[in-house]
């Protein structure tokens, strides 16, 4: 079947980005430091790129540790990798339902624990799981402890006035035979801004920025646990931004997310301290097609709300994609590529279509750069990420959301 909308996924770009991360992490390791593992974050269907393609390619490249957000994603990933003959570590970063503990144990899935109440609830579920059947089991759920070092989302509080109580609670978790601590992590809230733009939040200059404060809190909490004889397992807190610019946050592993897909965490390619950051290649190119051409006279209006009025004779192309495909209404006024030229979108973006001004500049332009029904239209991708980043800024969001929102009805074709 020929598709009018297609998300092309470049396996070569994916492998190239992973290799760049490997080189970067290896080059940035401190003398004598063991090379950190790379945890590839493939939640949200591989950030919209298709988890089958992403996990398959990264597994072929040597990745043996993945992170997801939910039990469903973890089970799907385990089945994919089992079919591929591999058995990588899989960590669920988000909350899990206690009712799913048995399946997580059976499929060797590691889960995050974010509080003592959460740990007790999961422990009770493990206990119930072990008592089922005619013979008692002694299974334990593999867990990573989540520290809240300042994100204030989930996790054991690691702020100076609360870390002592958190340590006591984590020690209780460590003593629970139903739970086996295999790692400890946190998440930076400002690393993409501070480390890539040099912006320091007011009041945190003494800590080297809010990221520095979070890193210090993480170190203190881990040290307190180790001094009390707790084996914390794998230590990790570097997200994509910190992986790029903060080697002191590497510890035992780094979590690479958006950079795997060829986009930068803050949507910009910057340099820090005079050292060029690696250049990544966007993995997704979102193409549609011209489905109709028509002419407009001065005074004619276009699309819902009749917001756009032609001020001159115009040639207008209708493109067969809309917000139901993930091309958001908020992208109104953006530019798309047809052939080798950029053209401005006009009027409101509809559910399944939008319009583009393709009026030739002159007769020579009409002759040399004709737009025809059936022509491919690149909505984003096929460049260094600038089209994706521009759409994100227009929508007041981030490039993560642009790729994640490409809907399921758009087929993913691996190139």
The catalytic residue positions are 43, 304
Q: Are strands 412-414 and 314-319 parallel, antiparallel or unpaired?
A: unpaired
Selection from 107, 64, 73, 94 nearest residue 185 by Cα: 94
Number of neighbours of residue 190 by Cβ within 10 angstroms? 21
Residues 138 and 119: their CA atoms lie apart, in Å, by 17
Residues 213 and 206: their CA atoms lie apart, in Å, by 9
Reported in sequence order, the residue ranges of 46-98 that DSSP labels E, i.e. its strands, are: 65-68, 89-92
To the nearest 5 percent, what fractions of the chain are helix, strand and coil?
35, 25, 40
Number of neighbours of residue 85 by Cβ within 10 angstroms? 7
Pair 355, 303: CB distance under 8 Å: yes
Pair 281, 17: CB distance under 8 Å: yes
Structure-token pair, residue 347: 């009027």
Helices (H), 175-295: 191-197, 210-227, 240-245
- The residues, any chain, with a CB within 8 Å of residue 132's CB and separated by 6 or more, are 102
- The residues, any chain, with a CB within 8 Å of residue 219's CB and separated by 6 or more, are none
Pair 56, 84: CB distance under 8 Å: yes
């Amino acid at each position: 079947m020929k598709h009018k909308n297609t998300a092309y996924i470049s396996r070569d770009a994916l492998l190239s980005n992973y290799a760049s991360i490997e080189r970067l992490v290896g080059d940035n390791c401190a003398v004598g430091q063991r090379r950190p593992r790379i945890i590839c974050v493939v939640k949200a269907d591989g950030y919209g790129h298709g988890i089958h393609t992403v996990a398959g390619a990264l597994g072929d490249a040597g990745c043996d540790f993945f992170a997801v957000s939910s039990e469903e994603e973890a089970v799907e990933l385990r089945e994919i990798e089992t079919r591929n003959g591999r058995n990588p570590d899989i960590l669920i970063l988000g909350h899990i339902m206690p009712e799913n503990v048995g399946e997580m144990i059976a499929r060797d899935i590691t889960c995050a624990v974010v509080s003592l109440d959460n740990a007790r609830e999961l422990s009770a579920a493990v206990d119930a799981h072990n008592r089922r059947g005619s013979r008692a089991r002694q299974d334990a759920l593999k867990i990573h402890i989540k520290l809240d070092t300042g994100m204030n989302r989930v996790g054991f509080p690691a702020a100076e006035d609360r870390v002592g109580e958190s340590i006591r609670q984590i020690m209780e978790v460590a003593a629970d035979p139903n739970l086996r601590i295999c790692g400890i992590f946190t998440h930076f809230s400002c690393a993409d801004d501070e480390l890539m733009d040099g912006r320091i939040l007011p009041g945190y200059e003494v800590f080297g920025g809010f990221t520095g404060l979070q890193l210090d809190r993480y170190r203190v909490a881990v040290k307190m646990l180790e001094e009390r004889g707790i084996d914390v397992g794998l230590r990790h807190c570097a997200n994509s931004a910190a992986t790029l610019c903060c080697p002191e946050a590497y510890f035992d592993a780094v979590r690479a997310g958006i950079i795997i897909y060829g986009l930068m965490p803050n949507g910009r390619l910057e340099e820090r301290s005079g050292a060029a950051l690696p250049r990544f290649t966007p993995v997704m190119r979102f193409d549609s097609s011209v489905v109709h051409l028509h002419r407009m006279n001065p005074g004619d209006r276009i699309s819902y709300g009749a917001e756009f009025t032609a001020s001159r004779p115009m040639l207008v192309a209708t493109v067969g994609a809309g917000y139901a495909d993930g091309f958001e209404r908020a992208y109104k006024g953006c530019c798309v590529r047809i052939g080798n030229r950029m053209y401005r979108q006009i009027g409101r973006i509809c559910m399944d279509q939008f319009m583009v001004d393709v009026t030739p500049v002159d007769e020579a332009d009409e002759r040399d750069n004709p737009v025809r029904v059936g022509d491919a239209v690149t909505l984003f991708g096929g460049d260094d990420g600038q089209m994706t980043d521009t759409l994100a800024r227009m929508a007041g969001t981030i490039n993560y959301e642009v790729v994640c929102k490409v809907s399921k009805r758009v087929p993913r074709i691996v190139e």
